[in-house]
């Protein structure tokens, strides 16, 4: 079992004719993901190298109607990414995974409001995220597929490469993953910890959860409260940025301690108070989870 | 991106946000010449001489002077220009004042605080206001959060005038100033939105004895991701406010933050880069920087990143920590080898590679003949780099 993506996923790649989109579309196909269409405005009817059997369309609407796409992944550059997300939602796509890094906050504020108002049934993951993978079934995004193993651990993370780190540690310990979700490091995003945790809590294929947070915002504190009240499965966590200085943006647009809020210490305390075991270093994330099973 | 107060006020004026009359100056002579011009324009002898640095809290450090006469103002110009201004936000090393703003003085009735930023919990921009204006707004927020009034902007319809009227009422403004506030906030919220601001603070916002509402200060930050929409802002960048390594990193589109320690870090991914700093500190070391080379870096970009790290004289050892996803380990290895061949390697280098093309990357490093310490994993690498710094310290004594 898994959440969000699996054997039923029929993927359309938005921006498939671009170098990044094509590279990761090929990676998805090699992994076994059912990629049913590509979309780039003006490239309908053309072929993308290495992806010749996959039809290209000008619009997501065609990808849904003609190829039966139900999930989209967005590799469109920042200036057009907000438009691409809304196009997917309007076309009837149920799950939109936005990989694009560097989308202006103003654009995402509007996208989020429009999704909430007009497309409440659409789930957005990202932007600025590595994607979602259900090991052995479906890989959508930029993560290296080979480090993953099918199994019972749900992973949700604000950071891309730290997700690879935990997955690698888990796989090395013989702990496979049900699904690994990268929710991304932007301040305005789609799915947050709580939605991901709720999915894992209800998934019979998931028996324990690892969450990776970082400085900035208060999502981790909210997640801690949610876990305490709603998640019966064991949860372990790690918070990145424990040594980050206040007022400096640490790469991710969301990773900044501002006005005394968003520090790692507060997040760790909130998680521990909710009974969640927090890994002391990023090298011990896998062992920390193993210790509570 | 940050700008100076006088630049922020120029933007305010363009959007119709009322600000006092003022003249910026880059030299003492220009500042002295500005004094009579400001006095003439305002019809009053009172001028304010303000140090222009990006950090806040300038008043606390003696960087702002209200002068009642021309002689007082001239004295303030000579004292503040070139001074090393230490504020709670500059750090103990302070910041040299190289720009001044000479502004008209006002007959102030009351000082308020006004701020705008994104509320991440709702994904909406929020306007905050408080009747407790002046210098210590952080303290107000901590001790009397109920005194900070908030209005959220609905992205579907934008800022509404009723929100300004409601704020005016709750701030205790009279009918006249409330009408002024409505116009003020209409212009200000448009400025925030159109200019892709990420933070806007006016502390203080003032009402004057004659019933006007003006921005006495202007602190604006812009969303770096949206700068492509505002090419005109590039001219307002002040390189003297930027760390030289951070400026070099920006040219290569690298995410780099200078820190106080002595272990240079090169990592892919912001989360892993933060976690690498954390684990270095956990094992007793001090990171010299945060550096995320990003996902799609080329060998040339990796070389540039490596050079930025080695150009920091504080760096006593380097830790390269890579978990390749899009980033291929052989690309990292090639970039590091090219950089070392070009600039040499005077400090120990510890490299941990994992992920895409890891075997190829390790092979390249091994065949390069360079003196590189290989690490099995993140913890091993962190311990080895901390030990390398300790060994060098021991050898030097």
Identify whether residues A98 and A151 lie together within a single domain: no
Q: Are B254 and B309 in contact (CB under 8 A)?
A: no
A158 interfacial to chain B (CB closer than 8 Å)? yes
Identify whether residues A89 and A159 lie together within a single domain: no
Listed residues A96, A125, A154: the one ending a domain? A125
> Distance (Å) from the C-alpha of residue A86 to the closest C-alpha of chain B?
15
Choose among A110, A243, A248: nearest Cβ to B278. A243
Reported ipTM: the value is 0.89
- Chain A, nearest residue to B250 by Cα: A251
Query: Is the residue at A169 inside a domain?
Result: yes
Query: Is the residue at A4 inside a domain?
Result: no
Choose among B118, B142, B282: nearest Cβ to A105. B118
Query: Is the residue at A190 inside a domain?
Result: yes
Instruction: Select from A275, A187, A188 the least CA-distant residue to A237.
Output: A275
Identify all chain A residues contacting B138, using CB atoms and an 8 Å cutoff.
Answer: 259-260
Mean pLDDT on A38-46: 97
Query: Is the residue at A80 inside a domain?
Result: yes
The pLDDT score that the predictor gives to residue B242 is 82
What angle (nearest 5°) sits at the alpha carbon of residue A249, between those of residues A147 and B293? 45
Query: Is the residue at A235 inside a domain?
Result: yes
Distance CA A210, CA B234 (A): 42
The pLDDT score that the predictor gives to residue B188 is 98
A247 burial via Cβ count (<10 Å: 0-12, 13-18, 19+): exposed
Identify whether residues A95 and A215 lie together within a single domain: no
- Chain A, nearest residue to B198 by Cα: A105
Distance CA A95, CA A97 (A): 7
| pTM as predicted | 0.92
The pLDDT score that the predictor gives to residue A253 is 65
Identify whether residues A101 and A209 lie together within a single domain: no
Identify whether residues A48 and A148 lie together within a single domain: no
Name the pLDDT band for A1 (thresholds 50, 70, 90).
Answer: low
Distance CA B37, CA B22 (A): 9
A259 interfacial to chain B (CB closer than 8 Å)? yes
Inter-chain contacts counted by CB atoms under 8 A, chains A and B: 177
Q: Is B270 close to A281, i.e. CB distance below 8 A?
A: no
Instruction: Select from A157, A151, A109 the least CA-distant residue to A1.
Output: A151
Q: Is the dihedral of CA B187, B189, B195, B197 positive or negative?
A: positive
Which residues of B are catalytic, by number? 113, 201
Instruction: Please name the residues between 208 and 227 in chain A that touch chain B, using a CB distance below 8 Å.
Output: 212, 214-219, 222
Choose among B121, B141, B225: nearest Cβ to A78. B225
Choose among B225, B275, B296: nearest Cβ to A105. B225
Query: Is the residue at A79 inside a domain?
Result: yes
Listed residues A125, A159, A187: the one ending a domain? A125
Q: Are A276 and A227 in contact (CB under 8 A)?
A: yes
Distance CA B275, CA B386 (A): 15
Does an H or E element contain B125, and which?
strand B124-130
A143 interfacial to chain B (CB closer than 8 Å)? yes
Identify all chain A residues contacting B292, using CB atoms and an 8 Å cutoff.
Answer: 251
Q: Is B290 close to A162, i.e. CB distance below 8 A?
A: no
Identify whether residues A178 and A61 lie together within a single domain: no
Q: Which residues of chain B have pLDDT under 50?
A: 396-397
> Distance (Å) from the C-alpha of residue B21 to the closest C-alpha of chain A?
31
List the CATH number of the domain containing A269.
3.40.50.261
Listed residues A98, A125, A152: the one ending a domain? A125
A159 interfacial to chain B (CB closer than 8 Å)? yes
Distance CA B170, CA B176 (A): 15
Name the pLDDT band for A260 (thresholds 50, 70, 90).
Answer: low
Identify all chain B residues contacting A157, using CB atoms and an 8 Å cutoff.
Answer: 271
Choose among A163, A188, A250: nearest Cβ to B118. A188
Strands B197-208 and B219-222: antiparallel
Query: How many domains, chain A?
Result: 2
The pLDDT score that the predictor gives to residue B123 is 92
The pLDDT score that the predictor gives to residue A160 is 86
Q: Are A212 and B251 in contact (CB under 8 A)?
A: no
How many CB atoms neighbour CB B140 within 10 A?
A: 18
Identify whether residues A87 and A168 lie together within a single domain: no
Identify whether residues A151 and A120 lie together within a single domain: no
R_g of chain B, CA atoms, integer Å: 26
Identify all chain A residues contacting B156, using CB atoms and an 8 Å cutoff.
Answer: 113-114, 117
Does an H or E element contain B46, and which?
none
Distance CA A102, CA B295 (A): 13
Identify whether residues A263 and A177 lie together within a single domain: yes
Identify all chain B residues contacting A160, using CB atoms and an 8 Å cutoff.
Answer: 269, 271-272, 295, 325
Query: Is the residue at A134 inside a domain?
Result: no
A109 interfacial to chain B (CB closer than 8 Å)? yes
Identify whether residues A73 and A109 lie together within a single domain: yes
Instruction: Please name the residues between 21 and 40 in chain A that touch chain B, using a CB distance below 8 Å.
Output: 23-24
Identify all chain B residues contacting A168, using CB atoms and an 8 Å cutoff.
Answer: 323, 354-355
Strands (E), chain A: 11-14, 35-39, 56-57, 71-74, 95-98, 123-125, 131-134, 138-141, 150-157, 177-182, 208-214, 235-240, 277-278
Alpha helices (H) in chain B, listed in sequence order = 5-15, 28-42, 70-80, 137-143, 161-171, 175-194, 244-251, 270-282, 299-310, 329-343, 358-367, 378-396
> Distance (Å) from the C-alpha of residue B101 to the closest C-alpha of chain A?
25
Q: Is A259 close to B141, i.e. CB distance below 8 A?
A: yes
Identify whether residues A185 and A86 lie together within a single domain: no
Does an H or E element contain B354, and which?
strand B349-355
The terminus-to-terminus CA distance of chain A in angstroms comes to 19
Query: Is the residue at A3 inside a domain?
Result: no
Its domain, for residue A272, covers 143-291
Identify whether residues A148 and A118 lie together within a single domain: no
A252 is catalytic: yes
A283 interfacial to chain B (CB closer than 8 Å)? yes
Joined together, the tokens standing for residue B347 give: 């400090």
List the CATH number of the domain containing A25.
3.40.50.720
Where residue A251 falls (left for φ over 0; alpha for ψ -120 to 50; beta otherwise) is left
């Amino acid at each position: 079992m898994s959440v969000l993506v699996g054997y039923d996923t029929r993927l359309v790649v938005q921006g498939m004719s671009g170098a990044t989109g094509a590279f990761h579309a090929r990676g998805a196909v090699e992994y076994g993901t059912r990629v049913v269409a590509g979309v780039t405005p003006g490239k309908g009817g053309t072929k993308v190298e290495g992806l010749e059997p996959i039809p290209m369309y000008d619009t997501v609407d065609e990808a849904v109607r003609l190829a039966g796409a139900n999930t989209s992944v967005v590799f469109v550059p920042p200036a057009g990414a907000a438009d691409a997300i809304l196009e997917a939602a309007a076309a009837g796509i149920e799950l939109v995974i936005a990989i694009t890094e560097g989308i202006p906050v103003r654009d995402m504020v509007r996208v989020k409001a429009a999704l909430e108002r007009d497309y409440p049934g659409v789930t957005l993951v990202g932007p600025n995220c590595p994607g979602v993978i259900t090991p052995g079934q479906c890989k959508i995004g930029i993560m290296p597929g080979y480090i993953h193993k099918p199994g019972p651990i749900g992973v949700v993370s604000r950071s891309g490469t730290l997700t690879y780190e935990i997955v690698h540690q888990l796989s090395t310990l013989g702990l496979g993953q049900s699904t690994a979700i990268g929710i991304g490091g932007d301040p305005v995003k789609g799915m947050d910890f709580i939605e991901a945790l709720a999915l894992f809590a209800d998934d019979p294929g998931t028996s324990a959860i690892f969450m990776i947070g970082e400085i900035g915002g208060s999502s981790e504190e909210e997640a801690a409260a949610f876990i305490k009240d709603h998640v019966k499965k064991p949860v372990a966590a790690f918070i990145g940025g424990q040594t980050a200085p206040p007022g400096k943006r640490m790469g991710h647009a969301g990773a900044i301690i501002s006005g005394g809020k968003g520090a790692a210490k507060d997040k760790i305390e909130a998680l521990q108070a909710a009974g969640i075991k927090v890994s002391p270093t990023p090298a011990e994330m896998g062992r920390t989870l193993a210790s509570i099973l | 991106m940050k700008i100076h107060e006088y630049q922020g006020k120029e933007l305010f004026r363009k959007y119709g946000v009322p600000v006092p009359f003022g003249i910026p100056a880059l030299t003492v002579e220009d500042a002295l010449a500005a004094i009579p011009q400001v006095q003439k324009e305002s019809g009053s002898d009172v001028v304010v001489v303000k140090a222009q640095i990006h950090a806040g809290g300038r008043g606390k450090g003696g960087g702002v002077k209200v002068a009642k006469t021309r002689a007082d103002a001239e004295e303030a110009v000579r004292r503040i220009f070139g001074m090393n201004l230490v504020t709670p936000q500059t750090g103990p090393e302070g910041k040299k004042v190289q720009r001044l703003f000479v502004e008209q003085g006002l007959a102030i009735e009351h000082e308020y605080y006004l701020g705008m930023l994104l509320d991440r919990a709702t994904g909406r921009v929020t306007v905050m206001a408080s009747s407790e204006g002046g210098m210590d707004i952080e303290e107000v927020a901590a001790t009397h959060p109920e005194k900070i009034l908030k209005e959220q902007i609905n992205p579907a319809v934008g800022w509404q005038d009723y929100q300004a009227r409601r704020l005016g009422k709750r701030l205790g403004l009279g009918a006249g100033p409330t009408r002024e506030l409505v116009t003020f906030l209409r212009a200000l919220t448009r400025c925030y939105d159109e200019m892709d601001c990420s933070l806007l603070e006016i502390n203080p916002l003032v009402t004057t004895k004659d019933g006007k509402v003006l921005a006495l200060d202007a602190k604006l930050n812009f969303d770096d991701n949206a700068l492509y929409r505002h090419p005109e802002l590039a001219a307002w960048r002040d390189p003297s406010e930027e760390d030289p390594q951070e400026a070099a990193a920006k040219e290569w589109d690298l995410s780099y933050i200078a820190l106080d320690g002595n272990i240079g870090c090169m990592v892919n991914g912001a989360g892993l880069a933060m976690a690498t700093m954390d684990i270095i500190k956990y094992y007793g070391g001090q990171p010299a920087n945060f550096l995320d080379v990003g996902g799609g870096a080329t060998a040339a970009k990796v070389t540039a990143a490596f050079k930025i790290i080695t150009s920091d004289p504080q760096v006593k050892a380097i830790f390269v920590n890579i978990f390749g996803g899009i980033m291929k380990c052989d690309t990292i290895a090639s970039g590091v080898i090219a950089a070392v061949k070009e600039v040499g390697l005077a400090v120990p280098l510890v490299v941990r590679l994992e992920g895409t093309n890891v075997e190829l990357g390790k092979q390249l490093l091994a065949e390069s003949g360079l003196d590189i310490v290989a690490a099995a994993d993140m913890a091993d690498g962190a311990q080895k780099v901390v030990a390398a710094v300790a060994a060098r310290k021991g050898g030097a004594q």
